[in-house]
Structure 1
Amino acid sequence: MTTTYAALLRGINVSGHKKVPMPELRTVLGELGHTRIATHLQSGNAVFQSDGEDEGALAAELERALHERFGFPVDCIVRGGDYLAAVADACPYPAAELEGKQLHVTYYDRPVEEERFASLDAQAFLPEAFRIGDRCLYLYAPEGLGRSKLAEALARPRLSKGLTATTRNWNTVAKLVEMTRV
């Protein structure tokens, strides 16, 4: 059965480092046998169709291929379109009322327990807030991610240790849902 997936690459094309041109990303995905490939923005978002059913295996295969092509490691998370839609639908914040830069989703490679963040004094960061979802974290940052003290705290090594994570603003979340519905 063919499934539509999104590949979310972490930390590429930032300040001229770890350059992965989107045409080459599309080529790599095609060489892996995937079809109906499209990219969104330059920050590492690709949609493709595959007969593969294991998201982790698809991500590992893409990571290996990217490392071979570009000579540096690139963490990838692969998620099916149904999952992306479910994450958007489960958002605990009023997405329709917010600007895309105010709401973010951090996707994780595995489930994350709320206990991981228990040491964080969430009240100290108000009005910023976060909620844990299905292999994701929703972040409300009214001033945007770049100015978010809560985002900075959530990314600290002791809280993110052992996880692969990548964050997308709500505009990108919505666009990926749209792209995977085709």
Structure 2
Amino acid sequence: MKHVALLRGINVGGNRKVPMKALKVTFERLGFRGVQTYIQSGNVIFQAEKVDQAAIEQALRLEFGFPVDVMLRSAAEWAALAPRNPYPAQAAADGTKVHVAFLHQAPTPERLDALAARPSGEDTWVCLGRELYLHTPGGLGQSKLNLAPLKQAATVRNWRTVENIGELLEK
């Protein structure tokens, strides 16, 4: 079974450096097969019958010297992202204006209400389970969205990256 591991907050602004070759080796040491990385933001595609998120995070902490949150998705969960995308026209027009925030768990209604209460300008979002789909017409760098009310780790990928990882999973 294929899986995707998304690492949060690595290789941003020269901080928390994780070389992709070393990341691949770390996943292989954990016994995963067919390990591939995709771009420097920490996307790992691999094969495994069972996956232990805590074991992956512990191995990363030991290997790189700092904690790294990992969001895991199966290939089937990844394949469901596109059909569920509430912004297909915007994603088709510009894959850098639609993003997916990957969460460990689905937010509670109270957390979603707290997020909705915050001003977000022209940016919009839709939460579907453990994914928060974001449309940021001005780009994510200019976005007013702040995911802090969710009170959990999240890692964000633009739609172009989501599609490219999907293609790698199909190979």
Structure 2 residue aligned with 1:146: 141
Structure 1 residue aligned with 2:165: 176
Aligned residues: 169
Shift of residue 125 of structure 1?
3.3
1:31-83 per-position Cα deviation (integer Å, ceiling 9, x unaligned): 0111111111000001000121x5xx2x2111111111111111111110110
Percent identical residues: 40
The yes-or-no answer on 1:167 pairing with 2:156 is: yes
The yes-or-no answer on 1:112 pairing with 2:110 is: no
The yes-or-no answer on 1:61 pairing with 2:55 is: yes
- Structure 2 letter corresponding to 1:75: D
Structure 2 residue aligned with 1:72: 66
The yes-or-no answer on 1:93 pairing with 2:87 is: yes
- Structure 2 letter corresponding to 1:74: V
CA contact (8 A) 1:114 1:132 kept: no
Residues in 2 aligned to 1:98 and 1:112: alpha-carbon distance in whole angstroms: 29
Shift of residue 126 of structure 1?
4.7
Residues in 2 aligned to 1:181 and 1:97: alpha-carbon distance in whole angstroms: 20
CA contact (8 A) 2:7 2:42 kept: yes
DSSP 3-state at the match of 1:63 = helix
Residues in 2 aligned to 1:79 and 1:27: alpha-carbon distance in whole angstroms: 20
Structure 1 residue aligned with 2:19: 21
- Structure 2 letter corresponding to 1:85: A
Shift of residue 121 of structure 1?
3.8
Structure 2 residue aligned with 1:44: 42
The verdict on how the C-alpha distance between 1:72 and 1:145 changes in structure 2, with shifts beyond 3 A counting, is: same
**Structure 1: which 5+ residue stretches go unaligned?**
none
Shift of residue 115 of structure 1?
3.2
Instruction: Give every structure 1 segment of 4 or more consecutive aligned residues whose post-TM-superposition deviation is greater than 6 Å.
Output: none
Shift of residue 132 of structure 1?
0.5
- Structure 2 letter corresponding to 1:141: T
DSSP 3-state at the match of 1:67 = helix
CA contact (8 A) 1:112 1:136 kept: no
- Structure 2 letter corresponding to 1:131: V
Residues in 2 aligned to 1:5 and 1:34: alpha-carbon distance in whole angstroms: 10
Task: Tell me the TM-score normalized by structure 2.
Answer: 0.92
Shift of residue 114 of structure 1?
3.9
Task: Tell me the TM-score normalized by structure 1.
Answer: 0.87
Larger displacement relative to structure 2 (93-102 or 18-27): 93-102
CA RMSD in angstroms, aligned pairs only = 1.6
